[in-house]
Amino acid sequence: MEILDPALQAYLDNHCDPEPEALQKINRDTYLKVLKPHMLSGHYQGRVLSMLSKMIQPKLILEIGTFTGYSAICLAEGLAEGGILHTIEVNGEFEEMLNSHFASTNVDKKIKLHIGPAEAIIADFEDTIFDLVFIDADKRNNFKYFELIIDKVRPGGLIIIDNVLWKGKVFGTEKDADTENIRKLNEQIAVNTQVEKFILPVRDGLLIIRKK
């Protein structure tokens, strides 16, 4: 199911900043060349991510799940001077395309791509403290990633988790494993006293978490 009425979504799209030209091309390329192109953040969610990043002006961002690079570019728009975004993609077949997509933007020098399993790469950031983390990878491991990075986020920093409404299934009657995993994630975060949190009904649901 659609979370928002399509007419409302079109209105929202038409009343935010326009999609940058480089991102328009990445959007088109994704739909032409990649399986499951709907995984792309897209125009409206991309502007939300860009705005959240600009509001806190992070020096260090971690993204778990790069896909075709759209969200990484949006988040990198808000980096403070000299800031870096580290993004992790498990699928090595995306590397050439990602490098091309990043090179087409004005933030490519601010993005460092890591190819490999997220858990192993996160372990390499042993003494790193991030200002913002975006989790948009394999959904069954969302809470594991949250646990791995919560101590690597500064007080006042943000963690954003995508797809937490799961096309409305989380508040329906579905009992499949993916839906149950996301329900469990939402419930675990809801009672976590280390953080402030709310779900933003943007696209498929963004869980916005602020570390106390």
Identify the CA nearest to 139 among candidates 48, 211, 36, 5.
36
Domain that holds residue 36: 6-211
The number of folded domains in the chain is: 1
Q: Is residue 175 part of a domain?
A: yes
Residue with tokens 């699928």: 91
Q: Is residue 1 part of a domain?
A: no
CATH classification at residue 43: 3.40.50.150
First to last CA, the chain: 34
Question: What is the per-residue pLDDT for 1?
Answer: 59
Question: What is the per-residue pLDDT for 3?
Answer: 75
Walk along the chain (212 residues) in steps of 10 and give the mean pLDDT of each run. 82 95 96 90 96 98 97 98 98 96 96 97 96 95 96 98 94 91 96 97 95 98
Question: What is the per-residue pLDDT for 4?
Answer: 81
Q: Is residue 72 part of a domain?
A: yes
Residue 207, Cα to own-chain centre: how many angstroms? 10
Question: What is the per-residue pLDDT for 162?
Answer: 97
Query: Crossing angle, helix 6-14 and helix 42-56, to 10 degrees?
Result: 50
Please state, in angstroms and rounded to a whole number, the distance separating the CA atoms of residues 31 and 68. 10
Question: What is the per-residue pLDDT for 2?
Answer: 67
